[in-house]
Amino acid sequence: MRVGRYCGFVAMLFVVAACAGGEVSTEVTSSIPDAVTTTELLVATSTTSTTTTTTTLPVEVNLATAEAVVAAIYAGDSEALDELPWADPDGRAKDDAVGFALFKAALNVTVLDSSCEGETAEVVACQTQASDDLSDALGVGVFTDTHEISFDDSGAIFWLISETQDGGVVEVFTNWAWNIAYPGICASPAQCAEALLGVVDEYNETYPGAVVASYVAAYNAADIEAIVELFDEDAVIANHPGGTFTGTEQIRSLHEGEADGTVSYTISNLEVIGNTVTWDHVWSGEEDNGEPFQNCVEGHTAIVENGQIVSWTWPPTDFQC
């Protein structure tokens, strides 16, 4: 999710969470968010700033301010954000920071790790690994937020850009919430968060990208039954290193030998076009002697229909990371 924020609200092609009288309705009146539509149509732009960043302040000063911004966002502390130096106390940068904080607080965010770096005093980049109710419900677990904070020559914050990265799933929902629903539909970031949680079940059952994400979660949990349920009874896994596997019984046998809870399967660069899902993977674990190993594959392609995988084609690969 880029907070900065995107220009031009797109017509409601996605989930509509209408708010009436302060109450949030999570009624789904159109299709659920589409990863490619969301990320391609919402072109990131920012208001042009006329501020010239010629600060002579030490990097450490603005670095400390950036760390305070991030800490206040994940604590949901709007009062702490009020006390920080903003170039425009009523401007976009502060408004985005407060909105992001309220959104995260409503989703009960938990921070696992956070750090900031500033090569110059003008711009500080921060990265935060976290989880929240939305990522847990989507089966994603941990996601990464990045924040780019720009300062003027007095050390005041004049621009903030935030982005959520998790491989494609959480971005779709948060892009929709921030750029389509708020403030055009939801009365607050917190209401948007509630609306999102209200449509997760349908998303998990039908959206092709979420089906692949559910496969990853089931694989890592060594839940063979959950894995098999995600495949059509006549599904085909083709070009797998072990051969071609057709039908749920062969697919079950394949996973009984692989998904034993000792290895971790993670994906990235998930993209969805219609019923076609593509992604890259990293498969990691330990050898018998305790040495760690990884193999990496780019370019998986699956066809998902009615919430089940009907085909999954592995690309040619040398497994190198």
Pairing between β-strand 231-240 and β-strand 308-313 as defined by DSSP bridges? parallel
For residue 107, give the 3-state DSSP assignment.
coil
**Lowest mean pLDDT: which of 11-20, 131-140, 166-175, 280-289?**
11-20
Question: Of all helices (H) and strands (E), which one includes residue 95?
Answer: helix 92-106
- By C-alpha distance, which of 275, 277, 269, 273 is closest to 298? 269
Could you tell me if 130 and 141 lie in one domain? yes
Could you tell me if 63 and 170 lie in one domain? yes
Average pLDDT over residues 203-216: 75
Digit-coded pLDDT (tens) for 243-252: 999 999 999 9
Evaluate if residue 227 carries a pLDDT over 90. yes
Contact 66, 118 (CB under 8 A): yes
Average pLDDT over residues 118-146: 86
pTM: 0.52
Could you tell me if 215 and 85 lie in one domain? no
Could you tell me if 221 and 305 lie in one domain? yes
Contact 65, 56 (CB under 8 A): no
Domain range for 281 is 208-313
- By C-alpha distance, which of 245, 157, 259 is closest to 217? 259
- Look at the chain and report how many structural domains it folds into: 2
Point out the domain boundary residue: 139, 173, 206.
206
Evaluate if residue 139 carries a pLDDT over 50. yes
**Structure token pair of residue 68:** 């305070």
pLDDT at 160: 92
Could you tell me if 190 and 215 lie in one domain? no
Mean pLDDT, the chain, rounded, equals 77
Measured CA to CA in angstroms, residue 314 lies from 21, 168, 240, 304 at distances of 50, 20, 6, 15
Contact 55, 62 (CB under 8 A): yes
Output the domain CATH number for residue 53.
3.10.450.50
